[in-house]
Structure formats: structure tokens, C-alpha cells
Amino acid sequence: MSAQDASAGQDEGGLDLIEAMVEFEDQLSQMVVSITKTAQRAEKAPAVITVVSADEIQARGYRTLADVLRTVPNFYDVYDLVTHNVGVRGVNGGARASGNVIKVMIDGMPVDFRPTTGNFFGEELIPLAVVERVEIIRGPASALYGANAFLGVVNVITKKGEQLPGVRLSGEASTFAARAGGGGGLVVGGSSDRIDVLVGASYAYRDRSGLELPASSPRLSNANDSLDGAGASEGDLARPGTLFGRLGVGEVAGGRLSLLGSVQNLDARGEFQDFGPLSHGTRINLVNSNYRLTWDRSFSDAFSFQASARYFSAEPGDSERLDIGRSDYLLRRRVGADGFGLSAEAQVAPLTELDLRAGLDFEWERHELQSYDLELKRDVHGRDGSLLRSAGTLIPGEGSGETRLFRNLGAYLQGLLEPVRVAVRVR
């Protein structure tokens, strides 16, 4: 290698170091709100936080929140082609957990699937076109966000309508093992003196049929299990859809009123779920809806107040079926939750270096306990040949329709004190 080549290599290495330093400085200078619920520079935030901007999401071609989290140190993702079980530092919630040890929010609103407290990390969560940045707290944050924040917090911050004026349509085409797929999205945004509106929707169609288990996979010998000889996945379709909307109205009782709504629809064949692998009958369909109405007002530079009301509902969709390899019936899962929450929060900053925040919240939830109905695959006849039950008949399972009510009241007080910097000049 010539001296000129060596010099060029050193220059390239120096440029890489400079780019890394600039990126690090950009991270520290970004404003974040997730750690203390107060806007502050990342360098002053009292926790380990990573911020992924919209520019980075677009430049790297991320399509889902799971894509974003896979690039964050200490995060990892176990994906079975239906749900993402995201964990931190080698720890997750176990089978069917769907990352329930991490708090996932959109603009500070929890969007977990309440019957299981699992999360959506795929294309069904939110159209990434409306995302301004993703704030990721690595480490426990349960003191501020509750039990689900055991390993971390992911807060998806969305753009304002004024940042995306007009109508934007997007589309894509893809192939998977020579099978066609694709999707599309719609974003509508706009603003005026008092009103800011943003609506985003997306839908995708993915055909993963033809996937086979590796030769090292265990083969179950149960006579009722159709894994042996099943070959490859059939009709392995994923059809995630999502709808997001936010409306902000200013000058309402001296403050600002905002309405936020998010609907997620996870719809995928579960060929590699633990419900009869490769039985070709399991279809996971979960519908999750969250809505929040917020009014906030700044009475002065030192005092502000915010009140909000939230409603949510979560349940399996009508198309969900669980195939456990039986030739006579499928399972239909009965589980769901709905409820509402109320909260009020006041912020006082008597000094530039001191910020005090106090809040109250109340949650009311109704849960239908999980049970399984049987859906017959074929007609059932008596000994005399008479029809007893026809195919498609639902037989209620044990405990079907049983519900429980939960009420929770909480309060918190938080104080932030920034030490005063004293400059000392030595001659």
C-alpha cells in the first residue's frame, strides 16, 4: 500500500469519526419529553434515551417500529411472522408476550392490547409517514409509566398537520419467494390559525406461503398433530391495517383542545404459532382502538394545567381462528377489554432551575376473561344418521362470557432541580 493510499485511509477514518461525533451531538441536542413528561434536551435527561428521527427512518427504509428497535443497543426482536416479542438485554415476557414488559405509547397515550398487555410493533401500529421521531428509554421507568415499563419505554411522537399539508398517497410492490405483495398509505394534513389536523392510514398485503421448517425442527408424533407431512405454509397471509388521526383546536376556554385516535388491526395467518404449527388453519386477528381528548392551558410562564379523558377497546376480530390440529373443530378465542381513564396534571416552575409536576389519574376497565369456544369443522350426526350439529356451529367453552371489573386510582409528584452552573475564571 502506498503512502497516498494510507493517507486516504486515514482521511476516511477521520471522516467516519467526525460523522459519528456529529451524530452523537445531534442526539444530545434533541428535545425529548418521555423521560420526565417535560420537554428538555436529551443531554439533560436523567435516563438513557435514544431518539430516532423521521429523517433517519426514511433514510434507512424502516417500515415498522420493530425495524427501528432492532437497531437500538440492547433491544432485540423475536418475530414469528405474526407478532413481535421485543425484549431488552436478553429479557422478554415469555411466550405470547408481544413485548408486554415495554411501554409503547403514541404521543404519550398507551396503545397496548389490554387483554394481554402486549404491544403491536409491526405495520399495524401506525403509518410511519406521520411519525416525527421515536423516543426510546432503555431501562425501568415504572415510577412514571406503570408496571408495563419494566424494561423500557417507547414513545412515538407524531408530526403536526402543518408539517404535512395537503394529501399524500404512497404505494409499494414487493415479492416474497416469487409471491406478489404490496401496500399503500394515505396522509392528509393541514392547519389554520386555530385548527391543526392530521390523518394517516395504511394497509399492506404480504403472502409468505411456501415457507418450510428447517430440517432440525422437532417433529411431533401426536396422531392429532398435522405437522408431519405438512410440508410448507399455505395461505400464509398478513394484512395489517392502521388508522391514526389527531385534531387540535386552539382558543378553547383559553387553552387548546386536542383529540387523538388510533386504530390497529393485526390480521395474519399463524402458520408458525404454537396453535398447531403448519395446520394451515390458525389466523390471528386483533383489533385495538384508543382515543384521547385533552385540554391544556398555560396560565403563565410558571404555571400550566392539563386534563384528559381516554377510552379504549380491544378484542379479537371476527376472522380469528385457532387451529390446534384437530380434524373436527377449531378454537374461537373469547377475550376482550374496554374502559376509560381520567387524568389531571399541574406543572409549576417557581424558579428557572426548579420544575414541579403533580397529577391524579383514574382508570376503569372491564375485562372478559379468556375462554375458548369450539367451532365445528364438519357436521355431527347421531347414530341414526340425523343431523345433530352442522359445520360452523359454535359450542360455548367453560367460563365463556365471564367478566371482571378493575378500578385504579393513582397520584404522583415529581420535582426536577437543575444545578446552577458557576463559571470560575483562574488567572
Q: Is the dihedral of CA 318, 322, 323, 326 positive or negative?
A: negative
pLDDT tens per residue, range 354-366? 889 999 999 999 9
Considering the domain boundaries, does residue 18 fall inside one? no
Considering the domain boundaries, does residue 17 fall inside one? no
Closest CA to 279 of 328, 230, 209, 319: 230
- Cβ atoms of 49 and 105 within 8 Å: the answer is no
Considering the domain boundaries, does residue 1 fall inside one? no
Q: From CA 298, how far away is CA 191, in angstroms rounded? A: 21
Considering the domain boundaries, does residue 15 fall inside one? no
Instruction: Kindly state the average pLDDT of the residues 101-120.
Output: 95
Q: From CA 88, how far away is CA 243, in angstroms rounded? A: 28
Reply yes or no on whether the pLDDT at 31 is more than 70. no
Considering the domain boundaries, does residue 345 fall inside one? yes
Name residue, grid cell 420526565: 36
Considering the domain boundaries, does residue 143 fall inside one? yes
Domains in the chain: how many in total? 1
Considering the domain boundaries, does residue 14 fall inside one? no
Angle, CA of 282, 283 and 287, to the nearest 5°: 145
Mention every residue, 6+ apart, whose C-beta is less than 8 A from residue 207. Answer: 176, 179, 180, 181, 236, 237
Name residue, grid cell 395504511: 202
Assigned C-alpha cell, 271: 402458520
pLDDT value at residue 22 = 45
Identify which has the larger pLDDT, 352 or 157: 157
- Least reliable range by pLDDT among 27-31, 231-235, 357-361, 412-416: 27-31
Give the three-state DSSP class for 52.
strand
Q: From CA 238, how far away is CA 242, in angstroms rounded? A: 13
pLDDT tens per residue, range 82-99? 999 999 988 888 888 999
Q: Is the dihedral of CA 99, 243, 59, 43 positive or negative?
A: negative
- Cβ atoms of 359 and 143 within 8 Å: the answer is no
Residue 268, Cα to own-chain centre: how many angstroms? Answer: 16
Mention every residue, 6+ apart, whose C-beta is less than 8 A from residue 260. Answer: 106, 107, 109, 245, 246, 291, 292, 293, 294
> pLDDT grade, residue 426 (50/70/90)?
low
Query: What's the whole-number average pLDDT of the chain?
Result: 86
pLDDT value at residue 44 = 59
Reply yes or no on whether the pLDDT at 346 is more than 60. yes
Specify the pTM. Answer: 0.86
> pLDDT grade, residue 126 (50/70/90)?
very high
CB-CB neighbours of 35 under 10 Å: 21
Residue 112's domain comprises 27-417
pLDDT tens per residue, range 181-229? 999 999 999 999 999 999 999 999 999 998 887 766 555 444 344 444 5
